[in-house]
């Protein structure tokens, strides 16, 4: 297997993949695999309950928060959030990169249809999304303030809780690309959501952690299948959930617990990120333009001194077993996504390749 630096769908722990392969035809003596089981049967009920309990343990989710296993990708929730949480009020949005921009655009498009409004509380667009905003123009009466705590494309992360906006409005955070990379104080947020395909499991599944008291503000026109309240009341099973994805997510949660939980994973993630940024900064050939205090530990975009060498860089990396390093098409350059499943050895191998490329081609 290659060291896979894809931003998502991304590498999963080999132990998880091996266990899933072993259980593919016969899950624990059930005589069939998880993909073939009824979501309402006793086997799958046990799987989803265990997954929820393990996720609660990992993130220390308080009892007044509901955990939902939903579908549609994070993008669908850009629409579901205003439908469910906005009521007839106003919501604030912070834009720190491509994904929070998309969420803001969706909120802006939907709000008039549900008799509500959205405002831009801060954006770092003027400086090319190279930092988190240092000041916010928050509406104290906002129904929520939406932000993306790790921008996957631009590599910008709210690393310190002190960087978060100080507002009485509940924070609604898209954590798709850094959930479970470190301990998080769930109580700081009204709602956390994450597409699974980076640190959790297969694409399509979306994990939502939402404070109970926010569930009763939905716009009356919200379809039942998009209602967080209805999904919470039905154990995420108003309709058939993404059963196999939930099963894989559960294996990832067990893997994380076995690794020592999120504090242990955070230490490894800090180590990996520090190695890579330190090399980039010292290289004189590569550069990352994000403010050090907001540099993502999960997604490391970088540019070569000579952009004409990008094709050769990528081809050589692929040949060396270092895959999917091309940056997002909207920003170009390179990007190394180093999620939980990326071992330190993968980062070291990348640095070694970068060093050799710069020495011979720089």
| Beta-carbon count within 10 A of 41 CB | 11
Q: What is the DSSP string of 266-328?
A: HHHHHHHHHHHHHHHHHHSSEE--S-GGGB-SSEEEEEESSGGGHHHHHHHHHHTTEE--BPP
What are the φ/ψ torsions at residue 147 (nearest 5 degrees)? -150, 165
The site map against ligand PLP for 252-291 (x = CB under 6 A) is: ----------------------------------------
Residues 6+ apart with CB under 8 A from 136: 94, 121, 122, 165, 166, 167
To the query of whether residue 198 is one of the catalytic residues in this protein, the response is yes
Contact between 100 and 118 (Cβ < 8 Å): no
Q: Quick one: which of 178, 181, 209, 211 has its CA closest to 99?
A: 178
User: x/- contact string, 132-161, with ligand PLP (CB under 6 A)?
Assistant: ----------------x---x---------
Please report whether residue 75 would count as binding ligand PLP according to CB under 6 A: yes
Looking at residues 178 to 197 of the shown chain, list those that interact with ligand PLP (rule: CB under 6 A): 195
Q: Taking contact as CB under 6 A, which single stretch among the options 69-77, 81-89, 262-270, 280-288 is the one that binds ligand PLP?
A: 69-77
Q: Tell me whether residue 176 or residue 288 sits nearer to ligand PLP (CB atom).
A: 176
Contact stretch for ligand PLP (CB under 6 A) within 129-137, 171-179, 181-189, 250-258: 171-179
- Residue 145, CA atoms < 13 Å, CB-side half-sphere: 23
Min separation Cβ 83 and ligand PLP, Å: 16
Residue 240 in marked binding region: yes
Is 272 tagged catalytic? no
* 213 noted as active-site residue: no
Angle between helices 42-59 and 243-258 (to 10 degrees): 40
Q: Which residues are annotated as a binding site for pyridoxal 5'-phosphate?
A: 74-75, 99, 152, 174, 197, 239-240
Residues at the site binding ligand PLP, with contacts judged by CB under 6 A: 8, 73-75, 99, 148, 152, 174, 176-177, 195, 203
């Amino acid at each position: 297997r290659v060291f896979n630096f894809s931003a998502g769908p991304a590498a999963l722990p080999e132990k998880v993949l091996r266990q899933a392969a072993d259980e593919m035809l016969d899950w624990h003596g059930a005589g069939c695999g998880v993909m073939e089981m009824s979501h309402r049967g006793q086997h799958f009920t046990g799987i989803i309950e265990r997954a929820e309990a393990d996720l609660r343990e990992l993130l220390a989710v308080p009892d007044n928060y509901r955990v939902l296993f939903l579908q549609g990708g994070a993008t669908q929730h850009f629409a579901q959030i205003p439908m469910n949480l906005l009521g007839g009020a106003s919501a604030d949005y912070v834009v720190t990169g491509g994904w929070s921009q998309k969420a803001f655009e969706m909120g802006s498009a939907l709000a008039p249809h549900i008799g509500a409004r959205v405002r831009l509380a801060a954006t770092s667009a003027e400086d090319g999304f190279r930092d988190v905003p240092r000041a916010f123009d928050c509406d104290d009466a906002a129904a929520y303030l939406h932000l993306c705590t790790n921008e996957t494309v631009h590599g910008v992360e709210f690393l310190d809780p002190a960087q978060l906006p100080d507002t009485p409005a509940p924070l609604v955070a898209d954590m798709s690309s850094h959930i479970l990379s470190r301990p998080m104080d769930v109580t700081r947020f009204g709602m956390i959501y994450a597409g699974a395909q980076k640190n959790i499991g297969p694409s399509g599944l979306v994990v939502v952690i939402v404070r109970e008291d926010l569930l009763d503000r939905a716009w009356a026109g919200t379809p039942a299948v998009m209602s967080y309240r209805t999904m919470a009341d039905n154990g995420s099973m108003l309709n058939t959930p993404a059963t196999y994805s939930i099963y894989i997510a559960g294996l990832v949660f067990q893997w994380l617990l076995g690794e020592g939980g999120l504090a242990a994973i955070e230490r490894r993630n800090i180590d990996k990120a520090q190695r890579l940024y330190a090399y980039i900064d010292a290289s004189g050939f590569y550069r990352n333009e994000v403010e050090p205090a907001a540099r993502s530990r999960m997604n490391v975009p970088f540019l070569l001194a000579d952009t004409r060498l990008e094709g050769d860089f990528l081809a050589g990396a692929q040949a060396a077993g270092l895959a999917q390093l091309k940056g997002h098409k909207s920003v170009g350059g390179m990007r190394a996504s180093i999620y939980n499943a990326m071992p330190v050895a993968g980062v070291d191998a990348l640095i070694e390749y970068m060093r050799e490329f710069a020495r011979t081609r720089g």
